[in-house]
Amino acid sequence: MRAVFAIAGAELKIALRNFWVALAVGLTALFAAVLTFAGSGPTGTLGVDLLTVAVASLTTLTVYLAPLIALLLAFDAIAGEADRGTLALMLSYPVSRFAILAGKLSAHLSVLAFALAIGFSLAGIMAWGIDGKAGGVSETSLYALLRLWWTAVLLGAAFLGLGYAISSLARQPGVAAGLAIGLWLVFVVLYDLGMLGALVVDNGGFFTRQVFPWMLVGNPADAFRVVNMPTGEAVALASGVGGASKAVSHVVALAALVTWSFGALGLSWAAFRRIES
Amino acid sequence: MSLEITNVTRRYGEVTAVSDISLSMAPGERVALLGHNGAGKTTLMKMILGLTHLDEGSISVFGATPGSHAARSASSYLPENVAFHRSLTGREQLLLLARLRGVGRRPADELLERVGLHRAADRRIATYSKGMRQRLGLAQALLGKPRVAVLDEPTSGLDPISRGDFYNLVNELSSNGTAVLLSSHALTELEARTDRIAILLEGRLVANAPLAMLRSQARLPIRLRVAARPEKSDEVADRLGAVRTSGRSIEISCLQDEKLGHLGRIAALESLIEDVEVAPPSLEDLYRYYSGGGSI
Ligand SMILES: Nc1ncnc2c1ncn2[C@@H]1O[C@H](COP(=O)(O)OP(=O)(O)OP(=O)(O)O)[C@@H](O)[C@H]1O
Ligand SMILES: [Mg+2]
């Protein structure tokens, strides 16, 4: 346990000094602010509070941003150590590999959770500031924002796990970086594009009814989207894949997201355990 | 025994990196591992530390299997070309490693002083020279009084004075009972600083003995270099029955037991010569002899 804290402390220092923390916080805060501000237009016509609108657009943003930040933090975690020769050194110390990975994970997850918390708080405060009297923030929308945060942390954990696995398998920072970009593109962009294309071609047929729901939970980013789907009157706000994702319930999607997080972390553990240096 | 290596073999595909090596080290013993590039030194060390598996044979580190918690607690390692994280300071890096070894802050601070890094300790490692990074590596290998220290090319990148300081640290370790296995390409510095020399040739152990014993086994010639007075070199060469090598210098090769006879004859020519120099076979010569598979 002492080893986990020691490693996490060092990793936090590194993340701070490499400006990863600044970058993560800056990105989420900037986008959260812009999206909340942009949402202040259509609220009146839809009859929902500003924060609800903001949460819907923040969900879409987070699908892109949380995996990106997680992969940025994770891709170098093992490959970088192998490259510097410190991996062999660490592995020759009386520390378990589990502690090494757990230390890195706790530092990276903290950075991610912190950055998202700052960004989302900013969105909440702005919604309240802009539209305070008109009920810009309701209790429901606050809960939605909170749920957005902790599920985003879960989504980040899934991609941290995938990132560590890549980092262990690649063993070279350059290769790991390339694989991380590829992974992000596949999970966050191409997967959805493919799914949308198939939905259009299928036009409500077998794919839409039988395959599509499974595909939604087959990708942590989509599971995250479904979990944070607004219920009731605000469904209209959800766009793209979101609109069709009523096919899977919140509970199933949440289970899928949790499974993905733990599964990916398990995968990273399996990959790291096998490393010989 | 602090370290016991028995019939160990390790292959990488077609390449047999380490081939049927047996070697043991008593507490406090200092052994230098020599060998050409790719001889298998690093591979052997990694197997001792449990960083890579053995294909055959067995290793015991202070009674424990390599890679086990007990073995890792008993051993320390300096990898070749280690570069630490650039964003941390030397002190932070050493403190992290000290915590992982279960050692406090104080020994870490003391070690920084011992390796001469106390003034640079709070600077980022990115600003360190190669030698400074190497010293940081040494410092971490000394953390927590290891029973077996495995140092892969520990003096690479160190200036001559620092090398001297390094061997003082090694002596101190070994007098506290640590068995020190180190590899090196700088042969001259090993004379009188190690108890035993092990030479690897393409993964095989071709020599494993104290330096003096290697010398007498190899029966390499001793060189006597005579510097003649001006204009006298041909005469000196004639009377000694030797050849002139260059200018006024005449060289004689002989075996140990012929040395004194030759020196007597040279001394008799005192009026014709300026100086005489006795050069025993160097570690280089020995290394060449043993790594050439027995022939010079
Ligand atoms: N990971 C690896 N994969 C494949 N072959 C390897 C690997 N590591 C070492 N080898 C091979 O094993 C042999 C021994 O390598 P090793 O690194 O042990 O040599 P060395 O004696 O330490 O050399 P040097 O003096 O250059 O450091 C070499 O032929 C090398 O190519
Ligand atoms: Mg080597």
Could B72 and A276 be called an inter-chain contact, meaning their C-beta atoms sit closer than 8 Å?
no
User: How many whole angstroms from A84 Cα to the centroid of ligand 2?
Assistant: 15
Residues 6+ apart with CB under 8 A from A185: none
Instruction: Select, from the ranges A51-55, A122-126, A242-246, B144-148, the one with the highest average predicted confidence (pLDDT).
Output: B144-148
Q: What DSSP assignment string belongs to chain B?
A: --EEEEEEEEEETTEEEEEEEEEEE-TT-EEEEEE-TTSSHHHHHHHHTTSS--SEEEEEETTB-TTSHHHHHHEEEE-TT----TTSBHHHHHHHHHHHTT--HHHHHHHHHHTT-TTTTTSBGGG--HHHHHHHHHHHHTTT--SEEEESSTTTT--HHHHHHHHHHHHHHHHTT-EEEEE-S--GGGTTT-SEEEEEETTEEEEEE-HHHHHHHHTPPEEEEEEEPTT-HHHHHHHHT-EEEETTEEEEEE-GGGHHHHHHHHHHTGGGEEEEEEEPPPHHHHHHHHHTTT--
Q: What count of CB pairs under 8 Å joins A to B? A: 74
Candidate from A100-109, A172-181, A192-201, B3-12 with smallest mean pLDDT:
A192-201
A14 interfaces chain B, CB cutoff of 8 Å: yes
Both tokens assigned to B114: 């011992």
Contact B87, B32 (CB under 8 A): no
Which of B116, B125, B119, B120 lies closest to B97, judged by CA?
B125
Q: Which residues of A touch B93 (CB under 8 A)?
A: 10
Nearest CA to ligand 1 atom 7: B12
Mean pLDDT along residues A115-125: 88
Half-sphere exposure of A79 (CA within 13 A, CB side): 24
Mean pLDDT along residues B127-144: 93
Could B102 and A277 be called an inter-chain contact, meaning their C-beta atoms sit closer than 8 Å?
no
Indicate the residue of B73, B79, B96 with minimum beta-carbon distance to A88. Answer: B79
* Residues facing residue B8 across a β-bridge: B21
pLDDT digits (tens, 9 = 90+) for B87-117: 999 999 999 999 999 998 999 999 999 999 9
Distance between A69 CA and the closest CA of chain B, angstroms:
19
- pLDDT(A48) > 80: no
SS (H, E, C) A174-223: HHHHHHHHHHHHHHHHHHHHHHHHHHHHHCCCHHHHHHHHHHHHCCHHHH
Mean pLDDT along residues B151-167: 90
Mean pLDDT along residues A129-155: 82
pLDDT digits (tens, 9 = 90+) for B13-70: 999 999 999 999 999 999 999 998 999 999 999 999 999 999 999 999 999 999 999 9
Candidate from B67-81, B110-124, B216-230 with smallest mean pLDDT:
B216-230
Mean pLDDT along residues A123-140: 73
All structural domains of chain B, each given as residue ranges with its CATH number in brackets, are: 3-214 (3.40.50.300), 221-280 (3.30.70.1650)
- pLDDT for B296: 37
- pLDDT(A50) > 90: no
How many percent of chain B have pLDDT more than 70?
99
B231-261 burial code (b ≥16 CB/10 A, e <16): ebbeebbeebebebeeebbbbbebeeeebee
Distance between B89 CA and the closest CA of chain A, angstroms:
10
- pLDDT for B42: 96
- pLDDT for A47: 60
Higher pLDDT, B12 or A252: B12
